[in-house]
Copies of this chain bind each other. A is one copy, B any other.
Amino acid sequence: MQQENKKVTYSFKNDYSEGAHPNILQALVASNLEQQDGYGEDQYCHAAIETIKEKLQDPNVDIHFVSGGTQANLIVISSILRPYESVIAADTGHISTHETGAIEATGHKVNTIDVKDGKLSPKKIKNLLDLHTDEHMVKPRMVYISNTTEVGTIYKKQELKDLHQFCRENDLLLFLDGARLGSALCSSENDLTLAEIVKLVDVFYIGGTKNGALIGEAIVISNEALKTNFRFNMKQKGALLAKGRLLGIQFLELFKEDLFFQLGNHANQMALKLSENIIELGYQLLTPPQSNQIFPILPNKTIEKLKENYAFYVWSKIDEETSVIRLVTSWATKETAVEAFIEDLKKI
Protein backbone atom coordinates (compact mmCIF):
# COMPACT_ATOMS: atom_id res chain seq x y z
CA MET A 1 0.00 0.00 0.00
CA GLN A 2 1.36 3.43 -0.93
CA GLN A 3 0.20 6.64 0.77
CA GLU A 4 -2.01 7.98 -1.99
CA ASN A 5 -1.45 11.68 -1.58
CA LYS A 6 2.20 11.24 -0.83
CA LYS A 7 4.55 12.61 -3.39
CA VAL A 8 7.57 13.03 -1.16
CA THR A 9 10.60 10.79 -1.63
CA TYR A 10 11.43 10.51 2.01
CA SER A 11 10.10 11.60 5.38
CA PHE A 12 12.40 13.02 8.06
CA LYS A 13 9.40 13.79 10.26
CA ASN A 14 10.20 11.31 12.97
CA ASP A 15 11.87 8.06 13.95
CA TYR A 16 8.76 5.90 13.95
CA SER A 17 7.68 6.07 10.32
CA GLU A 18 8.78 2.55 9.45
CA GLY A 19 7.88 -0.73 11.16
CA ALA A 20 10.36 -2.85 13.13
CA HIS A 21 13.85 -4.08 12.44
CA PRO A 22 13.53 -7.29 10.36
CA ASN A 23 15.12 -9.42 13.11
CA ILE A 24 12.19 -8.55 15.34
CA LEU A 25 9.59 -9.54 12.80
CA GLN A 26 11.47 -12.75 12.16
CA ALA A 27 11.44 -13.58 15.88
CA LEU A 28 7.71 -12.89 16.07
CA VAL A 29 7.12 -15.27 13.17
CA ALA A 30 9.40 -17.97 14.57
CA SER A 31 7.72 -18.04 17.98
CA ASN A 32 4.19 -17.43 16.79
CA LEU A 33 2.52 -20.75 17.45
CA GLU A 34 4.18 -21.50 20.78
CA GLN A 35 1.80 -21.30 23.72
CA GLN A 36 3.02 -18.82 26.30
CA ASP A 37 1.60 -17.48 29.54
CA GLY A 38 -0.10 -14.11 29.33
CA TYR A 39 0.45 -10.65 30.79
CA GLY A 40 4.24 -10.57 30.67
CA GLU A 41 4.77 -13.88 32.39
CA ASP A 42 5.97 -15.63 29.23
CA GLN A 43 9.45 -16.97 28.64
CA TYR A 44 10.40 -14.18 26.26
CA CYS A 45 9.70 -11.45 28.74
CA HIS A 46 11.66 -13.38 31.35
CA ALA A 47 14.58 -13.90 28.97
CA ALA A 48 14.53 -10.26 27.84
CA ILE A 49 14.59 -9.11 31.45
CA GLU A 50 17.57 -11.31 32.27
CA THR A 51 19.37 -10.13 29.15
CA ILE A 52 18.82 -6.47 29.90
CA LYS A 53 19.92 -6.97 33.51
CA GLU A 54 23.22 -8.26 32.20
CA LYS A 55 23.65 -5.20 29.99
CA LEU A 56 22.84 -3.04 33.00
CA GLN A 57 25.31 -5.05 35.11
CA ASP A 58 22.75 -5.08 37.88
CA PRO A 59 20.77 -8.20 38.80
CA ASN A 60 18.67 -6.33 41.36
CA VAL A 61 16.71 -3.94 39.19
CA ASP A 62 13.06 -4.58 38.36
CA ILE A 63 12.15 -4.41 34.67
CA HIS A 64 8.68 -4.04 33.16
CA PHE A 65 7.63 -3.66 29.54
CA VAL A 66 4.90 -1.26 28.44
CA SER A 67 3.60 -0.11 25.06
CA GLY A 68 4.69 3.50 24.76
CA GLY A 69 6.27 6.56 26.25
CA THR A 70 3.21 8.40 27.55
CA GLN A 71 2.04 5.17 29.16
CA ALA A 72 5.45 4.67 30.76
CA ASN A 73 5.53 8.22 32.05
CA LEU A 74 2.08 8.23 33.56
CA ILE A 75 2.49 4.84 35.24
CA VAL A 76 5.90 5.59 36.69
CA ILE A 77 4.95 9.01 37.99
CA SER A 78 1.51 8.14 39.37
CA SER A 79 2.78 4.98 41.04
CA ILE A 80 5.43 6.87 42.98
CA LEU A 81 4.02 10.23 44.01
CA ARG A 82 1.68 10.85 46.95
CA PRO A 83 -1.41 12.87 45.95
CA TYR A 84 0.08 16.25 46.93
CA GLU A 85 3.47 15.67 45.35
CA SER A 86 4.53 17.08 41.99
CA VAL A 87 7.07 16.33 39.30
CA ILE A 88 9.54 18.90 38.00
CA ALA A 89 10.19 19.01 34.24
CA ALA A 90 11.70 21.24 31.62
CA ASP A 91 9.06 23.20 29.69
CA THR A 92 10.28 21.31 26.62
CA GLY A 93 9.72 18.02 28.46
CA HIS A 94 7.35 15.57 26.85
CA ILE A 95 5.16 15.38 29.95
CA SER A 96 4.92 19.17 30.12
CA THR A 97 2.99 19.80 26.94
CA HIS A 98 2.87 16.81 24.61
CA GLU A 99 0.92 14.24 26.59
CA THR A 100 -2.53 15.89 26.77
CA GLY A 101 -2.34 16.32 30.51
CA ALA A 102 -1.65 12.62 31.12
CA ILE A 103 0.20 13.32 34.35
CA GLU A 104 -2.39 15.78 35.64
CA ALA A 105 -5.06 13.21 34.80
CA THR A 106 -3.47 10.99 37.44
CA GLY A 107 -3.76 13.88 39.90
CA HIS A 108 -0.31 15.44 39.86
CA LYS A 109 1.00 18.86 38.96
CA VAL A 110 3.93 19.20 36.59
CA ASN A 111 6.13 22.08 37.72
CA THR A 112 7.82 23.39 34.59
CA ILE A 113 11.13 25.22 34.29
CA ASP A 114 12.00 27.37 31.29
CA VAL A 115 15.03 26.03 29.45
CA LYS A 116 16.60 26.59 26.06
CA ASP A 117 18.55 23.38 25.62
CA GLY A 118 15.98 20.96 27.01
CA LYS A 119 18.06 20.22 30.10
CA LEU A 120 17.51 20.67 33.82
CA SER A 121 20.29 21.60 36.22
CA PRO A 122 20.53 21.69 40.03
CA LYS A 123 20.52 25.46 40.00
CA LYS A 124 17.28 25.74 38.05
CA ILE A 125 15.64 23.13 40.23
CA LYS A 126 16.86 24.85 43.39
CA ASN A 127 15.12 28.07 42.37
CA LEU A 128 11.85 26.22 41.97
CA LEU A 129 12.21 24.37 45.26
CA ASP A 130 12.82 27.63 47.06
CA LEU A 131 9.38 28.84 46.00
CA HIS A 132 7.66 25.79 47.54
CA THR A 133 7.67 26.38 51.23
CA ASP A 134 4.54 25.02 52.85
CA GLU A 135 1.32 23.02 52.56
CA HIS A 136 -0.42 25.69 50.50
CA MET A 137 1.71 24.58 47.56
CA VAL A 138 2.45 21.17 46.07
CA LYS A 139 5.54 19.39 47.31
CA PRO A 140 7.97 18.80 44.43
CA ARG A 141 9.19 15.23 44.82
CA MET A 142 10.45 13.99 41.48
CA VAL A 143 12.68 15.34 38.73
CA TYR A 144 11.84 14.24 35.18
CA ILE A 145 14.52 14.48 32.53
CA SER A 146 14.72 13.12 28.98
CA ASN A 147 17.85 11.75 27.28
CA THR A 148 18.05 12.64 24.46
CA THR A 149 16.00 15.69 25.29
CA GLU A 150 13.06 16.72 23.16
CA VAL A 151 15.36 19.19 21.37
CA GLY A 152 18.00 16.64 20.51
CA THR A 153 20.58 17.40 23.19
CA ILE A 154 22.09 14.86 25.58
CA TYR A 155 23.13 14.75 29.23
CA LYS A 156 26.85 14.30 29.93
CA LYS A 157 27.98 12.06 32.80
CA GLN A 158 28.92 14.97 35.04
CA GLU A 159 25.55 16.64 34.49
CA LEU A 160 23.72 13.47 35.48
CA LYS A 161 25.99 13.02 38.51
CA ASP A 162 25.24 16.56 39.61
CA LEU A 163 21.51 15.98 39.28
CA HIS A 164 21.83 12.70 41.14
CA GLN A 165 23.70 14.37 43.97
CA PHE A 166 21.27 17.28 44.14
CA CYS A 167 18.25 14.97 44.20
CA ARG A 168 19.76 12.90 47.02
CA GLU A 169 20.39 16.03 49.05
CA ASN A 170 16.89 17.37 48.50
CA ASP A 171 14.80 14.23 48.92
CA LEU A 172 13.91 14.20 45.23
CA LEU A 173 13.58 11.14 43.02
CA LEU A 174 15.20 11.19 39.58
CA PHE A 175 13.32 9.73 36.60
CA LEU A 176 14.87 9.56 33.14
CA ASP A 177 12.64 9.28 30.08
CA GLY A 178 14.69 7.25 27.64
CA ALA A 179 12.30 7.18 24.69
CA ARG A 180 15.39 8.09 22.64
CA LEU A 181 18.02 6.63 24.95
CA GLY A 182 19.45 4.57 22.09
CA SER A 183 20.35 7.69 20.19
CA ALA A 184 21.68 9.39 23.34
CA LEU A 185 24.02 6.54 24.25
CA CYS A 186 25.32 6.36 20.69
CA SER A 187 26.01 10.08 20.45
CA SER A 188 29.62 10.92 19.64
CA GLU A 189 29.55 13.20 22.67
CA ASN A 190 28.08 10.63 25.05
CA ASP A 191 30.21 9.47 27.99
CA LEU A 192 27.49 7.53 29.87
CA THR A 193 26.82 3.80 29.95
CA LEU A 194 23.58 1.98 30.73
CA ALA A 195 25.24 0.59 33.87
CA GLU A 196 26.05 4.10 35.07
CA ILE A 197 22.56 5.37 34.43
CA VAL A 198 21.13 2.60 36.62
CA LYS A 199 23.19 3.92 39.50
CA LEU A 200 22.46 7.60 38.93
CA VAL A 201 18.67 7.56 38.61
CA ASP A 202 15.85 5.98 40.61
CA VAL A 203 13.90 4.81 37.61
CA PHE A 204 14.24 5.17 33.84
CA TYR A 205 13.08 3.55 30.67
CA ILE A 206 14.75 2.27 27.54
CA GLY A 207 12.80 3.24 24.45
CA GLY A 208 12.09 0.56 21.89
CA THR A 209 9.45 2.27 19.73
CA LYS A 210 11.84 4.95 18.45
CA ASN A 211 14.76 2.58 18.07
CA GLY A 212 13.61 -0.33 15.96
CA ALA A 213 10.72 -1.99 17.80
CA LEU A 214 7.05 -1.94 16.78
CA ILE A 215 6.06 -0.86 20.23
CA GLY A 216 7.62 -1.08 23.64
CA GLU A 217 9.53 0.68 26.39
CA ALA A 218 11.43 -1.15 29.13
CA ILE A 219 10.95 0.48 32.53
CA VAL A 220 13.94 -0.12 34.83
CA ILE A 221 13.48 0.49 38.56
CA SER A 222 16.66 0.62 40.60
CA ASN A 223 15.35 2.31 43.74
CA GLU A 224 14.16 -0.51 45.99
CA ALA A 225 11.37 1.55 47.51
CA LEU A 226 9.70 2.04 44.13
CA LYS A 227 9.44 -1.61 43.17
CA THR A 228 6.56 -2.83 45.32
CA ASN A 229 3.43 -3.94 43.49
CA PHE A 230 4.38 -2.13 40.30
CA ARG A 231 2.38 -4.56 38.17
CA PHE A 232 -0.79 -3.48 39.97
CA ASN A 233 -0.20 0.02 38.64
CA MET A 234 0.41 -1.31 35.15
CA LYS A 235 -2.79 -3.33 35.15
CA GLN A 236 -4.84 -0.44 36.49
CA LYS A 237 -3.69 1.84 33.69
CA GLY A 238 -4.39 -0.73 30.98
CA ALA A 239 -0.72 -1.48 30.31
CA LEU A 240 -0.56 -5.25 30.94
CA LEU A 241 -0.89 -6.76 27.46
CA ALA A 242 -2.58 -10.16 27.29
CA LYS A 243 0.02 -11.20 24.72
CA GLY A 244 2.91 -9.66 26.63
CA ARG A 245 5.22 -11.85 24.58
CA LEU A 246 4.97 -9.17 21.89
CA LEU A 247 7.08 -6.92 24.11
CA GLY A 248 9.41 -9.59 25.43
CA ILE A 249 10.30 -10.94 22.00
CA GLN A 250 11.17 -7.47 20.73
CA PHE A 251 13.40 -6.50 23.65
CA LEU A 252 15.12 -9.86 23.55
CA GLU A 253 16.01 -9.22 19.92
CA LEU A 254 17.21 -5.70 20.64
CA PHE A 255 19.48 -6.76 23.50
CA LYS A 256 20.53 -10.38 22.98
CA GLU A 257 23.27 -8.99 20.75
CA ASP A 258 23.94 -5.29 20.42
CA LEU A 259 21.21 -4.56 17.90
CA PHE A 260 19.84 -1.75 20.11
CA PHE A 261 23.15 0.10 19.91
CA GLN A 262 23.71 -0.61 16.22
CA LEU A 263 20.35 0.93 15.42
CA GLY A 264 20.97 3.97 17.60
CA ASN A 265 24.34 4.40 16.00
CA HIS A 266 22.97 4.21 12.48
CA ALA A 267 20.35 6.85 13.20
CA ASN A 268 23.00 9.17 14.63
CA GLN A 269 25.35 8.59 11.69
CA MET A 270 22.64 9.57 9.26
CA ALA A 271 21.92 12.74 11.26
CA LEU A 272 25.62 13.55 11.41
CA LYS A 273 25.99 13.14 7.68
CA LEU A 274 23.06 15.50 7.16
CA SER A 275 24.53 18.03 9.60
CA GLU A 276 28.00 18.03 8.16
CA ASN A 277 26.78 18.48 4.62
CA ILE A 278 24.29 21.18 5.56
CA ILE A 279 27.03 23.10 7.40
CA GLU A 280 29.36 22.59 4.47
CA LEU A 281 26.75 24.23 2.26
CA GLY A 282 26.98 27.32 4.47
CA TYR A 283 23.96 26.89 6.67
CA GLN A 284 23.87 26.94 10.46
CA LEU A 285 22.22 24.65 12.97
CA LEU A 286 20.18 25.91 15.93
CA THR A 287 21.99 23.57 18.32
CA PRO A 288 25.07 21.38 17.92
CA PRO A 289 24.08 18.01 16.41
CA GLN A 290 24.29 15.47 19.23
CA SER A 291 21.75 12.84 18.31
CA ASN A 292 19.25 11.79 15.63
CA GLN A 293 17.41 15.10 15.67
CA ILE A 294 19.00 18.13 14.00
CA PHE A 295 17.71 21.66 13.59
CA PRO A 296 19.02 23.44 10.44
CA ILE A 297 18.28 27.12 9.90
CA LEU A 298 17.18 27.71 6.31
CA PRO A 299 15.61 30.40 4.16
CA ASN A 300 11.84 29.96 3.94
CA LYS A 301 12.08 29.69 0.16
CA THR A 302 14.54 26.83 0.44
CA ILE A 303 12.25 25.13 2.94
CA GLU A 304 9.30 25.38 0.58
CA LYS A 305 11.37 23.88 -2.19
CA LEU A 306 12.58 21.01 -0.01
CA LYS A 307 9.02 20.22 1.00
CA GLU A 308 8.28 19.12 -2.53
CA ASN A 309 10.38 16.03 -2.05
CA TYR A 310 10.78 15.61 1.70
CA ALA A 311 8.54 15.55 4.73
CA PHE A 312 9.73 17.27 7.95
CA TYR A 313 8.47 19.70 10.59
CA VAL A 314 9.11 23.44 10.53
CA TRP A 315 10.21 23.92 14.13
CA SER A 316 10.26 27.69 14.69
CA LYS A 317 10.63 31.04 13.04
CA ILE A 318 13.91 32.96 13.17
CA ASP A 319 12.82 36.06 11.25
CA GLU A 320 10.55 36.93 8.36
CA GLU A 321 12.69 35.09 5.85
CA THR A 322 14.34 32.32 7.84
CA SER A 323 13.08 29.35 9.88
CA VAL A 324 14.34 26.33 11.75
CA ILE A 325 13.36 22.90 10.51
CA ARG A 326 13.66 19.61 12.35
CA LEU A 327 15.12 16.58 10.59
CA VAL A 328 14.86 13.23 12.35
CA THR A 329 16.68 10.11 11.24
CA SER A 330 16.05 6.57 12.38
CA TRP A 331 17.44 3.04 12.40
CA ALA A 332 15.73 2.68 9.00
CA THR A 333 16.94 5.86 7.29
CA LYS A 334 18.76 4.94 4.10
CA GLU A 335 22.01 6.67 3.28
CA THR A 336 20.69 7.23 -0.22
CA ALA A 337 17.83 9.29 1.17
CA VAL A 338 20.30 11.46 3.05
CA GLU A 339 22.44 11.89 -0.03
CA ALA A 340 19.44 12.75 -2.17
CA PHE A 341 18.36 15.38 0.36
CA ILE A 342 21.81 16.98 0.29
CA GLU A 343 21.93 16.90 -3.49
CA ASP A 344 18.54 18.57 -3.69
CA LEU A 345 19.58 21.18 -1.15
CA LYS A 346 22.69 21.95 -3.21
CA LYS A 347 20.56 22.58 -6.26
CA ILE A 348 18.29 25.09 -4.54
State the A residues within 8 Å of B (CB).
1-4, 10-11, 13-14, 16-20, 22, 25, 28-29, 31-39, 42-44, 47, 67-75, 78-79, 82-84, 86, 97-102, 104-110, 131, 135-139, 209-210, 214-215, 229, 231-243, 245-246, 332
Contacts and interface: CB of A to CB of B under 8 A. Distances in A.
B236 A237 contact: no
A134 to B, nearest CB: 9
A137 B98 contact: yes
Contact of A237 (B4, B13, B31, B237): B237
Given A29-B29, A100-B135, 13 more contacts: A17-B35, A39-B136, A68-B242, A82-B229, A83-B236, A84-B100, A84-B229, A100-B138, A101-B107, A105-B107, A105-B108, A109-B110, A138-B232
A231 to B, nearest CB: 4
Contacts of A100: 84, 135-138, 232, 235-236
Contact of A238 (B39, B70, B97, B98): B70
A183 to B, nearest CB: 15
Contacts of A78: 83
Chain A, interface SS category: loop
In the A-B complex, the 8 residue pairs with the smallest Cβ-Cβ separation, listed nearest first, are: A71-B238, A19-B32, A84-B232, A17-B35, A101-B109, A100-B236, A16-B242, A100-B235
Contacts of A86: 101, 104
A3 B45 CA distance: 12
Q: Which one of A14, A33, A82, A236 has the greatest number of beta carbons of chain B within 10 Å?
A: A236
Contacts of A29: 25, 29
Most chain B Cβ neighbours within 10 Å, of A22, A98, A100, A236: A100
A219 B165 CA distance: 38
7 contacts: A25-B29, A98-B136, A100-B235, A101-B107, A102-B235, A102-B236, A215-B246
Stoichiometry, as copies per complex, reads 4
A138 B97 CA distance: 8
Given A100-B236, A105-B83, A231-B135, A32 B18 contact: yes
A269 B131 CA distance: 32
Contacts of A72: 238
A100 B243 CA distance: 18
A39 B136 CA distance: 10
Contacts of A33: 18-19, 332
Contacts of A34: 1-3, 18-19
A19 B215 contact: no
A14 B136 CA distance: 15
Contact of A43 (B3, B74, B233): B3
A116 to B, nearest CB: 16
A58 B98 CA distance: 33
A99 B236 contact: yes
A140 to B, nearest CB: 10
Contacts of A242: 14, 16, 68-69, 209-210, 215
B243 A209 contact: yes
Contact of A235 (B43, B97, B99): B99
B241 A4 contact: no
Interface centre among A19, A25, A38 (most CB of B within 10 A): A19
A131 B96 CA distance: 13
